[in-house]
Structures are given as C-alpha cells and as structure tokens.
Amino acid sequence: MRIEMKDTGVEVQMSSWLFKQLKLHLEQEWKYQPREKGLSLIECTAENENTICPRLRNAKVEDLWSLTNFFGFATETFVLAVNILDRFLALMKVKPKHLSCIGVCCFQLAAQVVEEQCNIPSLHDVIRISQCKCTASDLKRMEKIISEKLHFDFKATTALTFLHLYHTIILCHTSERKELLNLDKLEAQLKACNCRLVFSKAKPSVLALCLLSLEVQTLKSIELFEIVLCIQKYSKISDSDLLYWRELVSKCLADYSSPACCKPDHKKLVWIVSRRTAQNLQNSYYSVPELPTIPEVGCFDGSESEDSCEDMSCGEESLSSSPPSDLEGSFFFDLKPKSKWPALSFDS
C-alpha cells in the first residue's frame, strides 16, 4: 500500500520530511514513557494506603487541566505536565500530602518548555491560584528533586506529538476537505484519556493512532482509512496492539460523553476562579510556614532517603483545595457549573 499524492516537488519534500520526523519520534518515544512497573504499582495501590493510588493521580491530572485552562496555555503544556508527573510518580514512592507540590512543579516545568517566558506566571501566582499550600521555596526544592530524577530531560515525545504528525501527514495526502478531521476535537479526546492512569501505559504512537482511527471510522472515509493503515504500517504498530487500546479508548470517550457517567469529584473540577478574584485572594494563601527542608521521596525499590517524607508536610491534608464559592468555570470546556455533569462534547 502506498500513499498517492499530487506530483509536485514541494509536496513530495513535505511528505519526506514528515515521515523522517515520524521515524525520529518513533525511535525516541520509549525514552519518555513512565516506567511500567511503577505505573502498575500505582494501579494496585488501595485507597487507604499512604501512597499514591489511581484516584489521587487522576485527580491531580484534572487539576493540571484546570491550571492549563486558567492560564490559557497550550494543550502541549498540559500533556507534557502529565508526562513529567507520570514519569516521576512511576519512579518514586510519593506520599499523598506531597502530590499537590509535585503537580504544581510539573506544571511549571512544562510551561517553561512550551510557553513564552513572558507568559509564565510567578511561583507566588501559581501557589495562589492552585492553592497548593506550600511555599515558593518548597516548589524550588521539589523542582530540583524532579529535575534530577528525570535527568533534566523534559522536552518529551508524547501522544500529542504523534497526533499532530499523523494529522499533518493525512492533510498532506488527502483530497478530502481539510476541515473534516478536526484537530481540536482530537486534542480534547487525548486530554480526556490523559485523565486516566491506564493510558500512561500505552505507547504514545499507539494512543494517538487509536484516537485518529476512531475519528476516521466516524467520518466513514475510505481514503482517510487507507492513509491511517499506511501510517500504522510505517509505525510498525500491530493490529493486536491497536485493537486492544482502541477498545479502551473508545470506552473512555463513551464514558466521558455519556450523561449517565459518574464524573470525577465535582469540587475538584470547578475551582477555576476569575482573574479579578485571583488578584483579591486573601493574604492567608501566602501565610504558609517555611519548611526547613524538603527531603527526597523514597524510591519504589523500598529504599528511603536519609530524611523521612513525614517531615515534608506542606499543610495539606487532602487534594481538594477548591474554594466553595465564586466559581466561574468548570473543568470541561468552561461550562457553567450544574447540579449534574452534562455530556462531554468533543466537537469544537
């Protein structure tokens, strides 16, 4: 099977460059996947254990989505923040009370990679908006721990990288109307998948192709389907892998789109406040006692650092830091809060 395209020099060069980029990212994606052993340990963790369980991880990802929306950052910032978070959690044994500080650090690290420097908020602003109940010094120390454990390698190849590449390859080779394949819709679907820990175990190239193939199936386009098959063959993605993850992705998207779905904790999803309110938050949000040290959290192999993690308390007893009033946006596409969650629409 080969992709047909118009015989113009520019388009041939573009196609060649795109597939070279695809090959490069396929070779690199394994470097940025969270350790499967660490993810499996999180999956097996019960709610009452004093370490991170799937619900707490997923709730923190939802908070990262909210932070991304509040500051108007790109989808790439959110996806990269989740990647940094999962890579760290899969490497280290983290206590729940430290998760808020870790999440904000991952958000800041991702923003520093993706966003313009002039648009990156100060640590004090992020502390106020996220209400993570730790100090700027705490965040700097935690950022150092995360940076060292991930070897300062943050510009990762993610599922969003492949989603953009696949989308561009299809547009380069199709004669269909360009607007048929909506990239914003695909990005929204990817963000929904990022909110579930299980998809961190999928290869980014496979997860992206699942989303694309499901959308092409919905469009019922034979031409687009043939291009997707060509991409699958080039990427050396087996039918069994694609079918396995496609089923999980399809179920996830169906769950999020269903009004009957039990959505995550409502309070965690609606804490975004207006900029006016953010400027007038009480000074008490700055009144967090300085901590003498933030020790390194223990590794999954059972070893602990010299300092105990119990000393690293940021005054956080739960992950729910949402103020109960002045709610001006919700988690999914800034819908007004309602008594029940509406269906999540991926249409832009």
Q: Distance between CA atoms of 330 and 335, rounded to whole angstroms?
A: 5
Cα-Cα-Cα-Cα torsion 338, 215, 159, 262, nearest 10 degrees, comes to: 30
Does the pLDDT at position 269 exceed 90?
no
Give per-residue burial for 150-166: e unless 16+ CB within 10 Å, then b.
beeebebbbbbbbbbbb
Does the pLDDT at position 222 exceed 50?
yes
Regarding pTM above 0.85, the answer is: no
CA atoms within 13 A on the CB side of 266: 13
Taking residues 81-89, report their average pLDDT. 98
Taking residues 132-154, report their average pLDDT. 94
Lowest mean pLDDT across 83-92, 218-227, 305-314: 305-314
Q: Give the model's pLDDT for residue 260.
A: 63
341: tokens are 């969650």
Query: Whole-number mean pLDDT of the chain?
Result: 79
How buried is 82 (Cβ within 10 angstroms: 0-12 exposed, 13-18 middle, 19+ buried)? buried
3-state class (DSSP) for residue 260: coil
